[in-house]
Amino acid sequence: MNIFRFVGDMSHLASFFLLLAKLIYTKSSTGVSLKTQALYLTVFVCRYLDLLVAFVSWYNELMKIFFIAASAYIVYVVATSTRNSNASDTYRVEFLVIPALVLACFVNETHWSKGGWSLNVMEILWAFSIYLEAVAVLPQLKMLHQLEDTTNITMHYMASLGIYRAFYLLNWVYRLYYEGYWHPIAVVAGIVQTLLYADFFILYYQSVLLRLPS
């Protein structure tokens, strides 16, 4: 594992702790999009089905289990939070889920001649999870743009997700150059996903960094 991948993973891990800290210490899920969190849970469950059939490393196994468990817990907390009206969580997620599923059915890494039926369904779900992750942040972005008063911790949560994406891009450049490793589906979707965060970082700069005492 190269340093870019590791920094990316740690930033991703940090994003979970930032969000959990926000939910637990402020006892409020205001400003957190339930839709985005439910999409992330869907992403992790669909992508990490390989936990059942393939072992890569303890690092991968534990991270995957943590990502599924933490996102399930976050969805539970936000969904049951009475203080959150969710009035501004208005993104139409069917416009994300359905195209991602259709695209995954046509553009995926299945090898029908080689794999069994269940393994190929897993490949379709893997591609679906990649496409869905690329756009899953959109409901949260829409909320951030609508809400005047977003807590800094929610913004730091988003920033750590953005850093995770950026370092994964560096990781892929590194792996392509030194290992010849390259999954076009993941790379193209990853570039799209990272570009979506560019919009967030402009907001982050304006609303968080410019407010810091100089």
Interface with other proteins by CB under 8 A: which residues?
Answer: 5, 9, 12, 50, 54, 56-57, 60, 63-64, 67, 109-111, 114-115, 119-120, 122-123, 126, 168, 171, 181, 183, 186
Q: Tokens for 99? A: 């195209």
Q: Are 34 and 78 in contact (CB under 8 A)?
A: yes
Burial 143-167 (b: 16+ CB within 10 A, else e): bbeeeeebeebbbbbbbbbbbbbbb
Please identify, using beta-carbon distances, which residue of 7 and 208 lies nearer to other proteins. 7
Q: How far is the CB of 34 from other proteins (least distance, A)?
A: 23
Using alpha carbons, select from 90, 72, 89, 92 the residue that is nearest to residue 29.
89
Q: How far is the CB of 197 from other proteins (least distance, A)?
A: 17
Please identify, using beta-carbon distances, which residue of 147 and 169 lies nearer to other proteins. 169
Cα distances (Å, whole numbers) of residue 58 to 11, 52, 65, 66, 115? 19, 14, 10, 12, 25
Q: How far is the CB of 63 from other proteins (least distance, A)?
A: 6
Q: How far is the CB of 95 from other proteins (least distance, A)?
A: 26
Please identify, using beta-carbon distances, which residue of 31 and 47 lies nearer to other proteins. 47
Q: Tokens for 2? A: 């190269």
Please identify, using beta-carbon distances, which residue of 109 and 199 lies nearer to other proteins. 109
